[in-house]
Structure 1
Amino acid sequence: MKFNKNLENIKTYEAGKPIELVVREYGIEPKDIVKLASNENPYGTSPKVIEAVSAIVSKMALYPDDSMIKLKKALSARFDVKDENIIIGSGSDQVIEFLIHAKAHEGSKILMNSITFAMYEIYSKHVGAEVIRTTSQEHNLDEFYELYKKEKPEIIFICTPNNPTGDALDADEIYNFLNKIDSDTLVVIDAAYLEYAVLKDSKKKIVVKNLITKFDNVIYLGTFSKAYGLGGMRVGYGVADAKIIKELYKLRPPFNITTLSLEAASVALGDEEFVQKSVTLNFEQMKRYEEFAKEQKIDIINSYTNFITLCLNSSQNSTKISNQLLQKGMIVRDLSSYNMNAIRVTIGTQEQNSRFFELVIQFL
């Protein structure tokens, strides 16, 4: 049987190992497993969300509201934009898929950072596009611009804060870069972790209305999977000029977001107190990782997210250490697939982080 030839050179995306799989493979009790691999909110989700979703469980037999009006209205109010400027996806990565299929094709060029979210490349290869990468580990917009002038890409991906490294750009840097890009090049600002970055440094804040008003070739992406604690509900969104959104809707399947997910996201957006508490606790705990890294002489990348990247030295091996941790019930993300001898660790609760320090010191 023959398949699309573009699939031949695509590696399957490896998500963080689920707790259930570790239970089966290593016989460890679920209560003894700590998952710090997928950048989920360790404090769960807002109690208001749990209450709201519980109240509408009986509606599961019915198709969801495909207009998604409640969530769109909430996002419109949050960003001071119109409903027509918003598209909702099953996670922001579904919106990324829409964008690439809408704009790119066989032979197109798509520019991205050397180390960044893996799905940009995977979706690019779906359509036979050529992936152009920078050489810098962290986003260097001067290098982006030089490659833009040379390669003339159809799409540019800027992930800020960046996954899996955690670095972030100042908003002014982004605006200065966008001023130099022609209007036919689509620029994607993937801001999945921006709620964290803004608390740590106000210069990282992107005013979405100003962004899409000034630049009609830019789309801003956000998600409810991180700070809002809704990774299991799979809700993301894009905000852009209405002309871009109209084209993306031609690719959106009907009922792509469940009734329960729509309700959860709508209510979560209104509980800013929960989000601020989660983000504040995150950075309080991150200080412990920074102190630990200093004590153990481990290099880290300054992180504006809910995870931190520990860069190991030549005598240490990220894959070996990740596997040793896994056998003890501690799930972290090995970054060897990004050609980095590093592990990415989600900032957990105080108890979870203490457990990580206790275990990893045995293997370092």
Structure 2
Amino acid sequence: MKFNKKLQNIKTYEAGKPIELVVREFGIEPKDIVKLASNENPYGCSPKVQSAVAKIIPNMALYPDDSMLKLKNALTKKYALEHKNLIIGSGSDQVIEFIMHAKADENSKILMNSVTFAMYEIYAKHVGAEIVRTASQEHDLDEFYGLYKATNPAIIFLCTPNNPTGDAIDTDKLMEFIEKIDNDTLVVVDGAYMEYAAYKDESKKIMPQELVEKFENVIYLGTFSKAYGLGGMRVGYGISSENIIKELYKLRPPFNITTLSLEAASVALEDEEFVNNCIALNFQEMKRYEEFANEQKIDIIESYTNFVTLCLNNTQNSTEISNALLRKGMIVRDLSGYGMNAIRVTVGTKEQNSRFFELASLLL
């Protein structure tokens, strides 16, 4: 059977291993498994969300509100925008897919960082676009600009804070960079972890409404999968000018967000106190990782997210260490696929982190 030739050079995205898979492969009891691989909120979602979702379960036979009115109202209130500036996706990665199909084709170039979210490349390959990467591991905007001038890309992806490294771009520098980009190049600012960066450092905080007011060629991406603790609900969004949102809507399938997901995301926005408490605990526990890295004499990239990237020594191998941890029921992310001898570890609860330190100290 023949398939689309564009699929030949696409590697399937590998998500963090689920607990169920580790149970089957290694015979470990679920209670003895700690998952620190997918950057989920270890404290879950707001109790208000759980209560609200339970109340609407009897309505599951009905299609969701395709206008997504309640969620859009909540987002426009949060960001002081209008409905015309919003598109909701099944995770922000679905919005990335819309963006790619709306703007790029086999004649396009897509500019991105050397190490960044894998789905940018995968969706670029869906349409046959050429991928242009920087040489620098962290976002070097001078290098980005040089490549922009040399290649004239259709889309530029800026992931801040960046996944999987955790570094973030200064907002002032980001704005200066976008000002130099022509209006026919779409700049995607992926802020999946922005709630964490904004809490830690005001200079990294990006306000989507400022991007929309100032630039016609920018789209900001946000998600409920990280700080809001709704990874299982799959809700993300894009914020942009009316013209861009109109084009993306042509690609959105009907009812792409479930009734339960819409309710969960809407109510989550009403409990910012819960989210801020989770973020505060995250950075409190992150200090322990910084101390651990110092004790083990390994490098740690300063993180503005809910995960840390531990860069290993030449005598250590990230794949071997990740697999050894896995056999002990500790799931972390091996970054060898990104060309890094490093592991990415979600900052968990105090107990989860203590378990990681206990196991990792025997291997590093």
TM-score normalised by L of structure 2 = 1.00
Q: Does residue 305 of structure 1 match 2:305?
A: yes
Residue in structure 1 matched with residue 50 of structure 2 by the alignment: 50
Residue in structure 2 matched with residue 195 of structure 1 by the alignment: 195
Residue in structure 2 matched with residue 315 of structure 1 by the alignment: 315
Q: Does residue 102 of structure 1 match 2:102?
A: yes
Deviation at 1:170, TM superposition (A): 1.1
TM superposition outliers: structure 1 runs of 4+ over 6 Å: none
- How many angstroms apart in 1 are the aligned matches of 2:108 and 2:207? 30
Residue in structure 2 matched with residue 3 of structure 1 by the alignment: 3
Residue in structure 2 matched with residue 256 of structure 1 by the alignment: 256
Deviation at 1:363, TM superposition (A): 1.1
- How many angstroms apart in 2 are the aligned matches of 1:152 and 1:211? 21
Matches within 5 A, 1:188-337: 188-337=188-337
Matches within 5 A, 1:138-157: 138-157=138-157
- How many angstroms apart in 2 are the aligned matches of 1:188 and 1:325? 35
Name the SS of the counterpart of 1:93 in structure 2: helix
Letter of the 1:140 counterpart? D
Per-residue CA deviations over 1:130-155 (Å, capped at 9, x if unaligned) read: 00000000000000000000000000
- How many angstroms apart in 2 are the aligned matches of 1:251 and 1:293? 45
Deviation at 1:330, TM superposition (A): 0.2
- How many angstroms apart in 2 are the aligned matches of 1:207 and 1:65? 28
Q: Does residue 59 of structure 1 match 2:59?
A: yes
Per-residue CA deviations over 1:176-233 (Å, capped at 9, x if unaligned) read: 0001000000000000000000111001111211111110100000000000000000
RMSD: 0.4
Per-residue CA deviations over 1:210-260 (Å, capped at 9, x if unaligned) read: 111110100000000000000000000000001000000000000000000
- How many angstroms apart in 1 are the aligned matches of 2:205 and 2:18? 33
- How many angstroms apart in 2 are the aligned matches of 1:210 and 1:121? 28
Name the SS of the counterpart of 1:161 in structure 2: coil
Per-residue CA deviations over 1:251-287 (Å, capped at 9, x if unaligned) read: 0000000000000000001100011000000000000
Residue in structure 2 matched with residue 354 of structure 1 by the alignment: 354
Residue in structure 2 matched with residue 117 of structure 1 by the alignment: 117
Deviation at 1:24, TM superposition (A): 0.3
Name the SS of the counterpart of 2:263 in structure 1: helix
Residue in structure 2 matched with residue 76 of structure 1 by the alignment: 76
Letter of the 1:87 counterpart? I
- How many angstroms apart in 2 are the aligned matches of 1:269 and 1:132? 36
Deviation at 1:67, TM superposition (A): 0.3
Structure 1 unmatched runs, 5+: none
Residue in structure 2 matched with residue 159 of structure 1 by the alignment: 159
Letter of the 1:134 counterpart? T
Name the SS of the counterpart of 1:232 in structure 2: helix
Matches within 5 A, 1:123-138: 123-138=123-138
Q: Does residue 21 of structure 1 match 2:21?
A: yes
Name the SS of the counterpart of 1:267 in structure 2: helix
Report percent identity of matched pairs: 75
Name the SS of the counterpart of 1:310 in structure 2: strand
- How many angstroms apart in 1 are the aligned matches of 2:311 and 2:285? 19
- How many angstroms apart in 1 are the aligned matches of 2:331 and 2:173? 35
- How many angstroms apart in 2 are the aligned matches of 1:126 and 1:112? 16
